[in-house]
């Protein structure tokens, strides 16, 4: 799962995933509101990836997410 600061960054990163990592399935983008916050400014955007075969390199995903001021988290 990649955590990104805004919707635009999440959409751009989701599109770039296919080009950079050969991800065939379109990743799911999910808005994750911070606890107790209703304001869209206080939300993170998640890109949910399925990688059951462990093809994606964790360090490469860390660098990729950092390009959009985000980070990778394990579920």
State the DSSP string of 10-38. HHHHHHHHHHHH---SPPEEEEEEPTT--
Whether the Cβ atoms of residue 51 and residue 57 lie closer than 8 Å to each other: no
Q: ∠ CA(66), CA(23), CA(6), 5° rounding?
A: 35
User: What are the tens digits of pLDDT across the range 48-70?
Assistant: 988 877 888 999 999 999 999 99
Say how many domains are in the chain. 1
- Which residue is associated with the tokens 């059951």? 52
User: What tens digit of pLDDT does each residue of 24-53 get?
Assistant: 788 899 998 765 555 555 689 999 988 877
Structural domain for 19, as ranges:
2-72
Contact by Cβ (8 Å): 32, 44: yes
Q: What is the pLDDT of residue 40?
A: 53
**Residue 63 is inside which H or E element, if any?**
helix 58-66
């Amino acid at each position: 799962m990649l955590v990104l600061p805004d919707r635009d960054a999440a959409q751009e990163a989701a599109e770039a995933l296919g080009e950079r990592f050969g991800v065939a399935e379109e990743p799911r983008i999910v808005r994750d509101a911070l606890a107790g916050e209703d304001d869209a400014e206080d939300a993170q955007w998640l890109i949910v990836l399925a990688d059951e075969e462990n093809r994606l390199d964790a360090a490469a995903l860390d660098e990729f997410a950092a390009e959009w001021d985000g980070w990778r988290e394990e579920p």
